[in-house]
Amino acid sequence: MKKTLTYVLTVLMAGLVLMLGAPAASAHGGAIKLEVTGDGADNVNVLATYKKDGHPVMEIVEATLTAISADGRSFGPAPLRSAPEGQNLYHLAEPLPSGEWKVTVTATAPSKAHATVKVKAGDIAASPVAATGPAQNKAAATATVADDEGAMGMPLKIGIIALVALLAVAAWIGLAWRNRASARR
């Protein structure tokens, strides 16, 4: 009986060690990908993900933006700043002047990357239809799903770790009480 409890306790502790070691094993690195889009007004959004697995880049991305308009004007190089809307989302600190632009974003850290797209900058129309069109609804739904996955993942892992640790401690206490009781007899 004592051997069985020892084996159970060992398996529980091994599971706990594996669960605690999992975040370190999921560390990212390597090449990044930049997705550049206009925000529908006078700014540009840049989403940084890892090429290998598509996960968000959690390190600080150092990137600049340059742009050339259809009529020959130039803008930048301007640094990108972390956006409050997301950890791997970046945007310009200053507005992009109105017009059609060929935008190039170049990242130097955590790895080198670049992307070039055409963007139309200007004021957002005051029409409520423009703010709730299918593209905006799809983007909002995608952002909500991504946020929900990230928000539930870590608390769930922490809960599982805590439960396994609690079971291991309970098994250890039960074993100690049983040994203590048998020693008194």
Mean of the pLDDT values across residues 92-115? 90
What's the CA gap between 163 and 170, in Å, rounded?
10
Mean of the pLDDT values across residues 140-159? 52
Mean of the pLDDT values across residues 115-133? 61
Choose the most confident range, by mean pLDDT, from 14-18, 47-51, 85-89, 142-146: 47-51
Share of the chain above pLDDT 70, in %: 69
Would you put residue 125 in left (φ > 0), alpha (ψ -120 to 50) or beta? Answer: beta
**Identity at 116, one-letter amino acid code:** T
74-82/99-109 β-pairing = unpaired
Query: 165: which strand partners?
Result: none
- 3-state SS of 26-57? CCCCCCEEEEEEECCCCCEEEEEEECCCCCEC
Instruction: Tell me: pLDDT of 132 over 70.
Output: no
pLDDT digits (tens, 9 = 90+) for 61-77: 999 999 999 899 999 89
Listed residue (103, 41, 26) closest to 67, CA to CA? 103
Mean of the pLDDT values across residues 150-178? 78
- Rounded to 5 degrees, φ, ψ at 112 are -75, 140
Average pLDDT along the chain? 75
Query: 100: which strand partners?
Result: 120
pLDDT at 73: 93
Q: 71 with 65: CB under 8 angstroms?
A: no
What's the CA gap between 184 and 177, in Å, rounded?
11
pLDDT digits (tens, 9 = 90+) for 103-112: 999 999 888 9
pLDDT at 146: 39
- Architecture, CATH, for domain 32-124: Sandwich (2.60)
What's the CA gap between 67 and 65, in Å, rounded?
7
pLDDT at 182: 79
